[in-house]
């Protein structure tokens, strides 16, 4: 099981939000690149970046901080990035900058043709991000709830050739209330591509519960607030995951 520390960017700083609310932020660092180095030193094998301003604006808004993070970890650690990615030129620029995987969320739901084109143009580099509440997909930085069923959309996008699905339960994200294991497993069972779990991690117990269902198709998990508030030690969590299921 691969555990992936999250670096959420707002106005160039590393922050965490509660349930995606841009007005309910906690600032953890003015230097996201230093945070990236810290996770690398603790043994992270991938990083997850979200351009929060970009997700709301629909275009990149934190590119200097993103480039600084990539420069900080070099080619040692793959970096996946989401937020405000709405066109092929942006994807190409990010990949040229050293990003390994681009996560397409809102644009995938609103413009599935764009996702299809992205998978064709950049095979092996496109992940789809599906944020859901009660099984329905949300868009626009979680501000709009659609009528789309998350599994139906995920199956459609699987057919396009996406590498994986990042699944976030937005009712739990940033709330430290535990992972929605049942919903994540339900999605993973319906797909052939891997699912990356996100939202709600609170303790080592959550990591162990997720490791127990890794065989269902859940290959990784994104960790955020629990790490930054010291409720979960990253190195200990990854060591435990490796002990239970082998390196992710």
Cα(38)–Cα(191) distance, integer angstroms: 34
The single residue of 11, 31, 71, 131 carrying the catalytic annotation is 131
Cα(65)–Cα(32) distance, integer angstroms: 7
97 catalytic, yes or no?
no
206 catalytic, yes or no?
no
The single residue of 8, 51, 169, 173 carrying the catalytic annotation is 8
Q: Which residues are catalytic?
A: 8, 131
């Amino acid at each position: 099981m691969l555990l992936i520390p999250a670096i959420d960017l707002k106005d160039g700083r590393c922050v965490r939000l509660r349930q995606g609310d841009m007005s309910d932020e906690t600032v953890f660092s003015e230097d996201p690149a230093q945070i990236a180095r810290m996770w690398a030193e603790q043994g992270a094998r991938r990083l997850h970046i979200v351009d929060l301003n970009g997700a709301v604006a629909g275009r990149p808004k934190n590119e200097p901080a993103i480039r600084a993070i990539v420069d900080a970890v070099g080619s040692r650690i793959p970096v996946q990035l989401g937020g405000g990615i709405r066109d092929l030129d942006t994807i190409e620029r990010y990949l040229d900058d050293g990003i390994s995987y681009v996560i397409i969320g809102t644009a995938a739901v609103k413009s599935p043709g764009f996702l299809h084109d992205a998978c064709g143009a950049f095979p092996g580099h496109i992940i789809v991000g599906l944020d859901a509440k009660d099984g329905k997909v949300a868009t626009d930085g979680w501000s709009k709830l659609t009528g789309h069923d998350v599994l139906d959309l995920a199956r459609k996008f699987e057919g396009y050739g996406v590498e994986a699905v990042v699944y976030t339960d937005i009712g739990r994200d940033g709330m430290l209330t535990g992972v929605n294991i049942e919903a994540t497993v339900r999605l993973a069972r319906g797909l052939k591509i891997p699912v990356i779990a996100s939202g709600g991690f609170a303790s080592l117990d959550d990591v162990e519960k997720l490791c127990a269902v890794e065989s269902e198709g859940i290959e990784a998990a994104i960790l955020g607030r629990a790490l930054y508030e010291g409720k979960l030690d990253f190195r200990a969590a990854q060591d435990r995951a490796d002990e239970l299921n082998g390196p992710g």
